[in-house]
Amino acid sequence: MYDCVIIGGGPGGITAAIYAIRAGMKTVIIEKLGVGGQIALSDIIENYPGFPSVSGPELMKHFEDHANNVGAEFKYGEVKKIESQGDKKIIEMSGENIETKSVIVCSGASPKKLGFKGEDEFIGRGISTCGTCDGPFYKNKEIAVIGGGDTAVKESIFLSKIASRVYHVHRRERFRAEKILTDRISKKENIEFMWKHVAEEALGDSSGVTGLRIRGVDGGEAKDLKVDGIFVFVGIIPSAGFIDCDKDEQGFIKVNHEMETSVEGIFAAGDCRVTPLRQVATAVGDAAIAAFKAQEYVSELEGRAYGKS
C-alpha cells in the first residue's frame, strides 16, 4: 500500500511528489500519457520565477529531473475511479488497482470545444487546440484562431510567425488577456482581428479544412474565411470525472484553503480545482500545500510523525 498516490504528472503532480517523498511517504505518480501535462504543449512561458523565458517542454524537463533525483516512481495509465473504503483508497485503473492511504488529484484540465458545425468532424484534420503541436503544418498558409484569453492571444502570436496570415476571431470587441500580451499582438501586421464574431461552421472536404464561416454576434451576413487551419482556444474543462466529490457546476473540484476535498484523505491541486487563476506557479503552490496536508493526514492515521525535511 502506498502512503500517497498522485494523479497527474504536470507541474502540480511533480511538485506534490517531491514534497511527499521528502516527507518520507511511499509515493507514486500516475500519469495518463507523459510527464508535463498541458504546459508541455506551451511554446513559451514568461511568468514562472527564475525562468524569464522558457518553453513548456524545457521547464517540465527540469521538473521531471528533480522528481527523478528524489526517487519518484511513475505509473502510466488512465485512472477510472477512486473508491474510498474508510482509511483506504482504491485507485481503479485499466487492469490494475492500487491501494493508498491518501490521494492528491493533480489531473489538470483539457481544452474545451465550442460546438460549432464541423468541429468534431475536422478535429485533427485542420482543427487543432495546440499551436505548438500543429502550427508547423501551416507554414506560409492562412489560418484562423478563435478565443480571447491569454492562451488564445499567446498562441495567435506564436502562429503568426509561421502562417502567412492569421484571422483572429473573438466574440467581444477586446481581448481579456494580460496587457503585455494584447500590446504585443496589436503590433503583428499579419494578424487580422475579427471582433464581435463567432464561429458558425468549419468548411472542408475529404482532404480537411478549407475555410471557416463566421457571423457577427449581432447577426447579419455570414463571412467565409478561406483558411487551411482553425485553432480553438476557448477555455478548459476539468479532468476530474473519475472522482466523486463536491464540484462546481463546471465540474471543477471544490477544496478548502488546505486543498482538502469533501472526501477525507483526498486532496486536489492545480487546474482541476476551483480557482480564480490557473498557472504553473499556482499549481506548484497548491501542490506543496496538498502534499503537506496529505503527510499530516497519513501521519495521524498511523499515529506517527514524519521528520521535517
Over residues 79-94, the pLDDT tens digits come to 999 999 989 999 999 8
- Please check whether residues 81 and 118 belong to one and the same domain: no
- Residue 212 CA to residue 278 CA, distance in Å, equals 30
Q: Could you report the per-residue pLDDT of 29-70, keeping only the tens digit for each? A: 999 988 998 888 888 898 999 999 999 999 999 999 999 999
pLDDT at site 309: 46
- Residue 187 CA to residue 217 CA, distance in Å, equals 25
- Please check whether residues 13 and 152 belong to one and the same domain: no
| Three-class SS state of 123 | strand
- Please check whether residues 7 and 35 belong to one and the same domain: yes
Asked whether residue 220 carries a pLDDT value surpassing 50, the answer given is yes
Cβ 81 vs Cβ 10: under 8 Å: no
- Please check whether residues 142 and 178 belong to one and the same domain: yes
The angle subtended at Cα 289 by Cα 29 and Cα 105, nearest 5°, is 35
- Please check whether residues 209 and 118 belong to one and the same domain: yes
Task: Write the CATH number for 130.
Answer: 3.50.50.60
- Of 210, 232, 254, at which residue does a domain stop? 232
Set of cell numbers at residue 251: 465540474
- Of 181, 215, 232, at which residue does a domain stop? 232
Asked whether residue 289 carries a pLDDT value surpassing 50, the answer given is yes
Q: Could you report the per-residue pLDDT of 149-202, keeping only the tens digit for each? A: 999 999 999 999 999 999 999 999 999 999 999 999 999 999 999 999 999 999
- Residue 266 CA to residue 284 CA, distance in Å, equals 17
pLDDT at site 155: 96
pLDDT at site 83: 96
Q: Could you report the per-residue pLDDT of 3-24, keeping only the tens digit for each? A: 999 999 999 999 999 999 999 9
CA 303: distance to chain centroid?
A: 37
Q: Is residue 307 part of a domain?
A: no
pLDDT at site 307: 46
Q: Is residue 117 part of a domain?
A: yes
Domain enclosing residue 201, as ranges: 113-232
Q: Is residue 308 part of a domain?
A: no
Q: Quick one: 206 exposed, middle or buried, by C-beta within 10 A (0-12, 13-18, 19+)?
A: exposed
**Residue 133 is a catalytic residue:** yes
- Rounded mean pLDDT, 203-225: 96
Indicate the helix (H) or strand (E) that contains 244.
none
- Please check whether residues 244 and 154 belong to one and the same domain: no
**Residue 272 is a catalytic residue:** no
Q: Is residue 206 part of a domain?
A: yes
- Please check whether residues 129 and 218 belong to one and the same domain: yes
Higher-confidence position of 13 and 305:
13
Q: Is residue 228 part of a domain?
A: yes
Q: Is residue 252 part of a domain?
A: yes
- Please check whether residues 194 and 226 belong to one and the same domain: yes
- Please check whether residues 98 and 146 belong to one and the same domain: no
SS (H, E, C) 93-117: ECCEEEEEEEEEECCCEEECCCCCE
- Please check whether residues 105 and 250 belong to one and the same domain: yes
Catalytic choice (133, 183, 224, 246): 133
pLDDT at site 33: 86
Q: Is residue 309 part of a domain?
A: no
pLDDT at site 304: 53
- Rounded mean pLDDT, 255-278: 97
Count the domains in the chain: 2
**Residue 4 is a catalytic residue:** no
Catalytic choice (3, 43, 134, 228): 134
Asked whether residue 306 carries a pLDDT value surpassing 70, the answer given is no
**Kind of pairing between the strands at 79-85 and 74-76:** unpaired
pLDDT at site 95: 86
Q: Dihedral through CA 33, CA 34, CA 39, CA 40, nearest 10?
A: -120
Q: Could you report the per-residue pLDDT of 98-149, keeping only the tens digit for each? A: 999 999 999 999 999 999 999 999 998 999 999 988 999 999 999 999 999 9
pLDDT at site 303: 85
Alpha-carbon torsion (212, 215, 216, 217), positive or negative: negative
- Please check whether residues 85 and 141 belong to one and the same domain: no
- Of 181, 207, 232, at which residue does a domain stop? 232
Q: Is residue 66 part of a domain?
A: yes
- Please check whether residues 51 and 62 belong to one and the same domain: yes
The pTM of the full predicted model, rounded to 2 decimals, is: 0.83
